[in-house]
Amino acid sequence: MSVKEEDIEKSDLTDEVVNLCKRRGFIFPSGEIYGGFRSTYDYGPLGVLMLQNVKTLWWKSMVQMRDDVVGIDCAILSAPKIWEASGHLRTFSDPLVDCKKCHERFRADQIGKACPNCGSEELTSPRDFNLMFKTYAGPVESDSTVAYLRPETAQGMFVNFLNVLNTSRKKLPFGIAQIGKSFRNEITPGNFVFRTREFEQMEMEYFVEPQTAGEYFNYWVEQRYNWYLDLGIGKEMLRIRAHEKKELSHYSDQTSDIEFKFPWGFGELEGIANRTDYDLKAHSNASGTDLRYFDPINNEKYFPYVIEPAAGATRTMMAFLIAAYCVDDVAGEKRTLLKLHPKLAPYKVAILPLSKKEPLTDLAKSVLNSLRPHYMCDYDDSQSIGKRYRRQDEIGTPICVTVDFDSLDDNMVTLRDRDTLSQIRIKIDSILDEVNKKLDF
């Protein structure tokens, strides 16, 4: 029986997941030996595998499996002209207030009338604080060498619109996808990797004929919602929320967020926006390069509209971890497990020999070598088998393969299923087929 609903949600599920991430090597506070560094995080041996899976699965569904989307990978350091034209220098800001007593700073829209730190009601009036990280390219720090770390990957797709169009020879509707780091000088980062200053985005700009924008907006909301469902997040943990007019970003005509039920309430995983022709027009005007699309059928030039599904890779990984975290009761003992979709799990298979010695090690290594070209595998020969199973459950490994002394005689091993705990004995010769069948990729 899962005790997730009754117990964990009432206690602090975030703390439990943060703790597991640290203990098992998913996510560490960055620069921890120096006391950490301002809500930045490092991804450990398991975290790097899982984050890679999130990104690969997004890429597969958005690029690999489609005829109409191509990829790109743009520079993070970018010219101020891009951000001037896009409107970010002017409008990408949050309202900031200072507490006059303790000098802490807060987002005015996130606090009541008093300082959340010391309770003082003496706050400055709100002023706009631009969220972009500014730096200098080259050894001279001057106005002419200012550069920005991109706050979204999206602008890379707009400024390369013609390059991609001309080289890929795509026709509307078509999309350009990108995965990569973005940076925002958030006033109040927090809730683990939910809001950080450095994070990874997975964004796609889908260029369409203006009159079809509404239809494609609905299409992408549905596609993206189903992606989360297909990877194991339950319907009850997800919702789609349309933005009110006053919430819309400066470039958007319509936005819906796909939200996940985090332990502190629903929070955005992804926004799907109709960016209209805002960005292409803005870059055409600012650069003097005509970014209109030539429609060969009607022999006319126009600015396409853009539908943008924009997701966070790191935030999404956290949602998958929270959705998968549960505690079972196995023969009176509590068992923590991550019921991750196998596609997301860092390791797909763990090979566990019952002894550290030859000839069992030889056999176990041969099993490992037959599986590792196909799947990310773990090999663990330390501690009791019970403890090793618990560890694999806690890191979400869907299949354990136990190599025991009988294996030497009958050339068979035991496959143990993470969720049902069922065990079956199979021939070593057929191990890859059996694992393929069970993982069903």
**What are the beta bridge partners of residue 417?**
399
Interface with ligand GAP includes 378 (CB under 6 A)? Answer: no
Interface with ligand GAP includes 271 (CB under 6 A)? Answer: yes
Fill in the per-residue mask, 390 to 419: x = in contact with ligand GAP (CB under 6 A), - = not in contact: ------------------------------
Interface with ligand GAP includes 154 (CB under 6 A)? Answer: yes
Phi first, then psi: give them for residue 156, nearest 5 degrees: -60, -35
Pick between residue 270 and residue 393 the one whose CB is nearest to ligand GAP.
270
Pick between residue 158 and residue 325 the one whose CB is nearest to ligand GAP.
158
User: Contact with ligand GAP (CB under 6 A): which of 130, 314, 392, 402?
Assistant: 314
Fill in the per-residue mask, 170 to 199: x = in contact with ligand GAP (CB under 6 A), - = not in contact: --------------x-x--------xx--x
Total residues in contact with ligand GAP, by rule CB under 6 A? 19
Interface with ligand GAP includes 270 (CB under 6 A)? Answer: yes
Alpha carbon separation from 191 to 196, 296, 321, 386 (Å, rounded) = 9, 50, 14, 33
User: Contact with ligand GAP (CB under 6 A): which of 152, 378, 393, 404?
Assistant: 152
Cα(424)–Cα(431) distance, integer angstroms: 12
For ligand GAP, which residue has the nearest CB?
A: 312
| Nearest-approach distance from CB 151 to ligand GAP, in angstroms | 7
CA atoms within 13 A on the CB side of 8: 22
Cα(438)–Cα(399) distance, integer angstroms: 8
Pick between residue 269 and residue 399 the one whose CB is nearest to ligand GAP.
269
Interface with ligand GAP includes 205 (CB under 6 A)? Answer: no
Two tokens, residue 145: 């060498």
Two tokens, residue 207: 């260029």
Two tokens, residue 70: 């191509």
Tokens 């319509």 appear where?
A: 254
| Nearest-approach distance from CB 413 to ligand GAP, in angstroms | 41
| Nearest-approach distance from CB 196 to ligand GAP, in angstroms | 5
Cα(201)–Cα(153) distance, integer angstroms: 7
Contacts of residue 389, Cβ cutoff 8 Å, sequence gap at least 6: 352, 400, 416
- 174-183 and 69-71: which strand pairing? parallel
User: Contact with ligand GAP (CB under 6 A): which of 47, 304, 312, 396?
Assistant: 312
| Nearest-approach distance from CB 338 to ligand GAP, in angstroms | 21
Interface with ligand GAP includes 92 (CB under 6 A)? Answer: no
Sign of CA dihedral 310, 256, 228, 185: positive
Phi first, then psi: give them for residue 353, nearest 5 degrees: -75, 145
Phi first, then psi: give them for residue 231, nearest 5 degrees: -95, 20
Pick between residue 50 and residue 364 the one whose CB is nearest to ligand GAP.
50
Contact residues for ligand GAP, defined by CB under 6 A: 152, 154, 184, 186, 195-196, 199, 201, 203, 268-271, 308, 310-312, 314-315
